[in-house]
Structure 1
Amino acid sequence: MTDDNFDLTPPELRRDDLLVVDDSRFTEENIALVTGAASGIGQATAVALAVNGLTVVGADIDETGLEETRDIADDLGADGTVEAVETDLTNDDDIGAVVETAAEYGTLRYVANIAGMQHIDSIAEFPMEKYDLLQDIMVRAPFLTAQKAIPHIEETDDGVGAIANMSSVHGHYATERKAAYITAKHAITGLTRAIAAEGGGTLRGFSVSVGYVLTPLMINQIEDTAEQRGISKREVIEDVMLGQARTKEMMTPAEVANLFTFGFSRHGKHLNGADMLWDGGYTHTYQ
């Protein structure tokens, strides 16, 4: 099998691909903080929430990518805006500062902890500095962001808001050579439930789990895997990545962003402490 005419280009964000919800809290006065907002799922989520009328504070270490996110929202005629805040999620002061900045723009109600990374190695060979970095970005930073954001949400006129965490099918089961990522995603389940337990029903916590998403990061992983295994990129996707799934198609960033939009909206008010698992049958079916 060859890769002739096989396109791995990340899809362009289009307004028609984004879920738009009629919600009285989706206004410019209300703020959504989105981490990892410079690319991929974080970028799509920041744009989607801005299209829905919210003021979005996008946090990422990639300043150029954040500017791109803001430009995309503008190009799509978003009713809300994207405010870019360069943020190092391994720095406690930066995390505190971006939460305070978000609160200064208006009423902070929503947080989407999306920033992530990947490193592939066996447990025996896994470099601990990579393990620590991954846990800092994907576990410690969401915890600290929640810690700093919760008082602001509780101080709103009705205490209504939500903190959403990016999880994965790897938060439900384990595969080889992704031990740090799997550990982090299982940890994020605990954080999500803890937020719900302390939220009093109005401040909700939920997570979003998906399978493989066509992002720039994923494209690099596909190309690396194809080279390592001596197979085509198409075979990597269809046989290696989606071999266990029933839906033989990768998700797009916009499709994942729509889950965050729905979860934050009034339609998600009973989504609390739970996980939105959209994985094409990956987790609960097998051959």
Structure 2
Amino acid sequence: MTDGVEPPELTADRILTLDDDRFTTDSVALVTGAGSGIGRATAVALAQNGLAVAATDVDEEGLANTTEKAAELDTGGEIHEIAGDLTDDEDVRRIVDEAAEVGDLRYVANIAGLQHISPLPEFPMKQYDLLHDVMLRAPFLIAKLVMPHIRETDDGVGAIGNMCSIHGHTATQDKAGYITSKFGLRGLTKSIAAEGDGPLRAFTVSTGYVKTPLVTEQIPDTAEERGISEQEVVEDVMLGESQVTEMMEPVDVANLFTFGFSKYGQHLDGEDLTWDGGHLSTYE
């Protein structure tokens, strides 16, 4: 494993817990990509905050491991595994329906993601379509299906949080498919906020590189495309523009979703939690 990106252990002391009357097992948070990385950490963190979590992923073994992690930490909430494929509209509808059966569906964390490294003229359209379907089309459809459920709760309060990236604000080479989806996701988020009337909010979370399988798996391809070593990818490409030269851990991102969903995030609507270590806002 390249230095600095070893997957960390998720421990209870790193999870932000907040006092919120809606954070009970009567309230459901749907989390996509919950079988690993940021999705797993977010599912466990929300369960630790007392919520019923509808955890979905195409990876059933990964979902089982997420449930095991929540049990290991003895979370106060619950994990409900819903295996499904976000590229299949009928599966997405089933996922939302099953999540709504658990309780009052108030929150969504659209986290599922994937990457493909290739120059734009050589970018395979099959891979573009896959990135688009998972990271933009599925969140659009999920929002379309979930918004009525949020409005049907006793007070109509809820939030849809979308996992963005610094690549939803700026572009780097060889990631055109990912960047296009993330810029679109910010537009979708603002559209949800525009139609949410206040009680139903939407926000994005934009981070730099996080210690997840998505990051570690793209290091060799980036090194090959740029003709540099894998360590140089980490130090110069991933962290070179950041003032904080340590990658975030998945739980750090999970804590942002917890805050965004809570009563403390009630004025966060249509905007972005940019947690990037100074990458976007500073330069040398």
TM-score by length of 2: 0.97
Deviation at 1:228, TM superposition (A): 5.8
Matched residue, 1:24 = 21
Which residue, 182, 195, 198 being the options, matches 1:198? 195
For residues 113 and 142 of structure 1, the distance between their equivalents in structure 2, rounded to whole angstroms, comes to: 6
2:181 partner letter? A
Deviations 1:109-160 (A, max 9, x none): 0000000111111111011111111101111000000001010000011000
SS at match of 1:48: helix
Matched residue, 2:270 = 273
2:217 partner letter? N
For residues 102 and 156 of structure 1, the distance between their equivalents in structure 2, rounded to whole angstroms, comes to: 14
Which residue, 64, 69, 86 being the options, matches 1:67? 64
Decide whether the 8 Å contact of 2:87 with 2:133 is kept in 1.
yes
SS at match of 1:19: coil
Matched residue, 2:125 = 128
Matched residue, 2:145 = 148
2:97 partner letter? E
Decide whether the 8 Å contact of 2:115 with 2:218 is kept in 1.
no
Q: Which region of structure 1 is more displaced relative to structure 2, 232-241 or 69-78?
A: 232-241
Q: Which region of structure 1 is more displaced relative to structure 2, 233-242 or 183-192?
A: 233-242
Aligned pair 1:213/2:210, yes or no? yes
Moved over 4 A (4+): 226-232
Deviations 1:42-96 (A, max 9, x none): 0100000000000000111000000000010010010001111111000111111
SS at match of 1:144: helix
Which residue, 270, 281, 284 being the options, matches 1:284? 281
User: Equivalent pairs: percent with the same residue?
Assistant: 59
Decide whether the 8 Å contact of 2:24 with 2:50 is kept in 1.
yes
Deviation at 1:235, TM superposition (A): 2.6
Aligned pair 1:138/2:101, yes or no? no
SS at match of 2:282: coil
Decide whether the 8 Å contact of 2:5 with 2:247 is kept in 1.
no
Which residue, 31, 38, 55 being the options, matches 1:58? 55
- Change beyond 3 A, Cα 1:6–1:241: closer
For residues 168 and 227 of structure 1, the distance between their equivalents in structure 2, rounded to whole angstroms, comes to: 23
SS at match of 1:74: helix
SS at match of 1:124: helix
* Coordinate RMSD, CA, aligned: 1.5
1:161 partner letter? G
SS at match of 2:162: strand
1:37 partner letter? A
Deviation at 1:5, TM superposition (A): 9.4
How many residues are matched? 284
Which residue, 164, 167, 170 being the options, matches 1:170? 167
- Change beyond 3 A, Cα 1:125–1:5: closer
Aligned pair 1:243/2:247, yes or no? no
Matched residue, 1:257 = 254
SS at match of 1:151: helix
For residues 123 and 54 of structure 1, the distance between their equivalents in structure 2, rounded to whole angstroms, comes to: 42
2:238 partner letter? M
Deviation at 1:97, TM superposition (A): 0.6
